[in-house]
Amino acid sequence: MSDLAATHQPEQHRFVILDAGKLAAEMSYSPLGDDRMIIDHTDVDPAYAGQGLGYQLVEAAVVHARERQMKILPLCPFAASVFKKKGAAYADVLFG
């Protein structure tokens, strides 16, 4: 796992992981009102592959959703696979 941390950028509707100012990974979402979001894309720079950054981004979105009693619809194939693997651990924020 990486020592890099995910940050929410609500103005751009995304979560990012920066490494010394360089974009290492990002996950974009589309808000659906105040109580739902669609995760639509996750991207990790190939230089950071295998460090778990994509998982960190999904976890950051889950924490964000829980803090705000939101639901997530993971349409991005990567995010959908993480939700499937986590199963019951993410069931409380899964929409649909």
The domain that holds 78 is classified in CATH as 3.40.630.30
Per residue of the chain (96 residues), give pLDDT as tens.
568 999 999 999 999 999 999 999 999 999 999 999 999 999 999 999 999 999 999 999 999 999 999 999 999 999 999 999 999 999 999 997
pTM of the predicted structure, to 2 decimals: 0.95
Answer whether residue 1 is part of any domain.
no
Q: Cα 33 vs. chain centroid, distance in angstroms?
A: 18
Range of the domain at 49: 6-89
Answer whether residue 95 is part of any domain.
no
3-state helix, strand, coil in the chain (%, to 5): 35, 35, 30
Domain count, the chain: 1
Answer whether residue 94 is part of any domain.
no
pLDDT of residue 1: 56
